[in-house]
Amino acid sequence: MKIDTAIRKGKIVSIDKNMIAVEFNFRLKQNETAYALLGEKRLKSEVIRIRGNIADLQVYEATDGLKTGDFVEFTGKLLSVDLGPGLLGQVFDGLQNPLQKLAEECGFFLKRGKYLNALPEDKKWGFLPSVKPGDFVQSGDVIGMVKEGIFTHKIQVPFNLSGSHKILSIVKPGEYNVKEEIAITENKRGMEIPLYMSFSWPIKIPITAYEEKLDPVEPMITRIRIIDSLFPVAKGGTYCIPGPFGSGKTILQQITSRNAKVDIVIIAACGERAGEVVEIIRKFPKIIDPFTDRPLMERTVIICNTSSMPIAAREASVYTAITIAEYYRQMGLDVLLLADSTSRWAQALRERSGRLEEIPGEEAYPAYLGSTIAGFYERAGLVRLKDNTTGSITIGGTVSPAGGNFEEPVTQATLKVTGAFHGLSKDRSDARRYPSIDPLESWSTYEGIIDIQRRKEVIKLLSKANEVSQMMKVVGEEGVSLNDYILYLKGELFDYVYLQQNAFDPVDSATSADRQKKVFSIFEKILDASLILEDKIKTKNFFNRLRQAFIDYNYSAWDSEKFTTSEKLIKDLILQHSKENYISKSNVLRQAFVESDMDSQFRRSKELLAGKKGKLTMQKEESAKNKP
């Protein structure tokens, strides 16, 4: 077969859905992008395996109409994304096509082979240079700034420039777009290189233009109580959220995206439902950011697959998302990447591996599933940058195990590499106990706002309360001791008013770290207290009153009058029934006990006396009768 090597073209030799095998006779790179030519259309593809002179490519579009013998044009470039000002606020597909703009141009039915520039090219940004001719710079060094929404966007030397570069010229402060030349540098070999405000970077290669990775220590506050207080996530850490179908994974991530104390949120939606994607695009821009009072979208980037794209694009979305996250981390910002759901991505890997006829691992997932997942989560982290500031990426990924079985390969591979595990349970979501994170299944290795030892004790109490609850299902309420019953109600109360949170209430939906610490300290008193409650009815009444007081407390604004009064009511209630209080009042109480005891002794001896009297009378009467 004759192939024109000059323009790097190959010919399709076989097609299997969105996998094509292409014959070529020139040097080819793994992960190089190519375009399958279908008439006027160019279908984006990526080289995923090379064997001899045959390359296997996955096509990121439907391949209908392609036939063997059709040409494929190779680009020589790895699958990359454009980085620069203008990413924030956008909704991209996995290949970084701006969906809002595509919809404007093509309407609702996106055309195959239509690709648009990711960054707005006509928009002018106010650029302020921070280096001057003669300065030496390296990859990742900042050469100027622009204002992007509420952030100072640092324009950096492209990460692929190696060695030291001398600035030959740089533009004056002014308005420039991303395609205008802003500086010229010279490398050691005297080669001149023009710099722009944007450059591209291959998505499968981590950006490492920083000094070092640090251990994540500071908690990333989500303002979700069960997470921050019991199963915290560190800034720069990783966590996984496995949950069966419909258990609340997506909603939990949406709540997190609104409330987490980070600079930038990147959402990678690899869910298969097109409706969900449309909903995100419609709903998200309307959400107001609780921290800035401006549209939340201004500090958000959404990457999602459209239903017209084959599942192969899910893989690209995950990598596109993390690359954009790394780019903003380089600016010293805290980025949260939420991926929903990573199982769909794993399924794409499985399908591709099947087509490549690779040796399958567990449940037909490829044997490299674990290392692929690990490679993704390893791109999270807290880093010290070249200017000594720090930036972080925290990754939270949902997993949707079939039937909620956490033993399956994707959940297992994920929990091995993440620092926290928020297992959602169907029982909890069915009972509408939201967020449905199961406190008995979840764990975290990170330090949070509550002492680790304390966290363990609370989880132990919840576990014991759960045991009593299971027992009560068999033997009924009357079958358990009063002490066990109190333990059970303590657990239920903590679950109901602390672990559960109403996502729709403006106050309860987000609890600050300080407020959590305060409420938790009150709870500690309840959980630790030896309560003096005489019977189960009184116990139930007491916990009902406490529960109502806590609901009022949770729903009232921090330090409002109602907040103060309900807090006082809670404290009074605990005091009235706790043993400590009983001891302080012990003199009075002991007296009362002694008196009542004396009363009963007196009564008993009277009865005894009466009994004796009675007997005596009878004896007397009898003897009188017997007398002649």
Ligand X SMILES: Nc1ncnc2c1ncn2[C@@H]1O[C@H](COP(=O)(O)OP(=O)(O)OP(=O)(O)O)[C@@H](O)[C@H]1O
Whether the CB-CB separation of 459 and 467 falls below 8 Å is answered with no
284 binds ligand X, rule: CB under 6 A: no
Interface with ligand X (CB under 6 A), residue from 90, 156, 250, 411? 250
Nearest distance from residue 254's CB to ligand X, in Å? 8
- Of 249 and 577, nearer to Mg ion (C-beta) is 249
User: Which 8-state DSSP code applies to residue 477?
Assistant: G
Q: Which region, left, alpha or beta, applies to residue 312 given φ > 0 means left and ψ of -120 to 50 means alpha?
A: alpha
Give the binding range for ligand X (CB under 6 A) out of 73-81, 249-257, 526-534, 540-548: 249-257
Which partner, Mg ion, ligand X, none, binds residue 320 by CB below 5 to 8 Å per kind?
A: none
Q: Which of 10, 85, 140, 243 binds ligand X (CB under 6 A)?
A: 243
CB count in 10 Å sphere of residue 298: 16
Interaction pattern, residues 188-227, with ligand X; x per rule: CB under 6 A? ----------------------------------------
Query: Out of Mg ion, ligand X, none, which partner does residue 356 contact, by CB within 5 to 8 A per kind?
Result: none
The region of 15-23, 247-255, 375-383, 510-518 touching ligand X under the rule CB under 6 A is 247-255
Q: CB under 5 to 8 A by kind: which of ligand X, Mg ion, none does 238 bind?
A: none
Decide: 215 and 238 in contact? Cβ < 8 Å.
no
3-class DSSP state for residue 385?
Answer: coil
Which of the listed partners (Mg ion, ligand X, none) does 404 bind, with a CB threshold of 5 to 8 Å by partner kind?
A: none
Closer by beta carbon to ligand X, 247 or else 411: 247
Among the candidate windows 54-62, 241-249, 489-497, 562-570, which touches ligand X by CB under 6 A? 241-249
Closest CA to 204 of 94, 380, 322, 112: 322
- Residue 428 to residue 246: CA distance in whole angstroms: 11
Q: Please report which residue ranges of 556-585 form alpha helices under DSSP H.
A: 561-577, 579-584
Residue 98 Cβ vs ligand X, minimum distance, rounded to whole Å: 25
H or E, element range at 519: helix 513-528
Q: Residue 396, SS3?
A: strand
Q: Which stretch binds Mg ion (CB under 5 A): 236-244, 247-255, 330-338, 559-567?
A: 247-255
Instruction: Assess 251 for contact with ligand X (CB under 6 A).
Output: yes
CB of 262 to ligand X, least distance (A): 20
Q: Which member of 16, 76, 174, 245 binds ligand X (CB under 6 A)?
A: 245
Segment interacting with ligand X (CB under 6 A) among 185-193, 248-256, 405-413, 579-587: 248-256
**Interacting residues of 265 by C-beta distance below 8 A, sequence separation 6+:** 257, 296, 299, 300, 301, 335, 336, 337, 338
CA 334 to each of CA 345, 381, 447: distance values in angstroms, whole numbers, following the listed order: 25, 10, 18
Residue with the two structure tokens 């780019």: 327
435 is an interface residue for ligand X by CB under 6 A: yes
Nearest-angstrom CA–CA distance, 409 and 406:
8
503 binds ligand X (CB under 6 A): yes
Q: Which residues pair with 185 in a beta bridge?
A: 167, 193
Looking at beta carbons only, is 165 or 344 nearer to Mg ion? 344
Binding footprint of Mg ion, residue count (CB under 5 A) = 2
* Burial call 555-572: b when 16+ CB within 10 Å, e when fewer: ebeeeeeebeebbebbee
Q: By CB under 6 A, which span of 19-27, 243-251, 524-532, 596-604 interacts with ligand X?
A: 243-251
Q: Does 500 bind ligand X (CB under 6 A)?
A: no
- Can you name the residues that pair with 183 across neighbouring β-strands? 170, 195
As measured in angstroms, the least distance from the Cβ of 425 to ligand X is: 11
Nearest CA to 302 out of 12, 94, 120 is that of 94
Q: How many residues lie near ligand X (CB under 6 A)?
A: 13
The CA distance from 131 to 124, in Å, is 20
Residue 526: CB minimum distance to ligand X, A: 25
**Within positions 356 to 415, which residues make up the interface with ligand X, using CB under 6 A?**
400
b/e for 452-484, b at 16 or more Cβ within 10 A?
A: eeebeebbebbeebbebbeebeeeeeeebeeeb
Which of 96, 250, 500, 501 touches Mg ion by CB under 5 A? 250
> In terms of CB distance, is 157 or 240 closer to Mg ion?
240
Indicate which single residue of 90, 222, 247, 353 sits in contact with ligand X (rule: CB under 6 A): 247
Pick the closer one to ligand X by CB: 194 or 246. 246
Closest CA to 123 of 172, 180, 184: 180
Per CB under 6 A, residues contacting ligand X are 243, 245-251, 271, 400, 434-435, 503
Residues in the site for Mg ion, rule: CB under 5 A?
Answer: 249-250
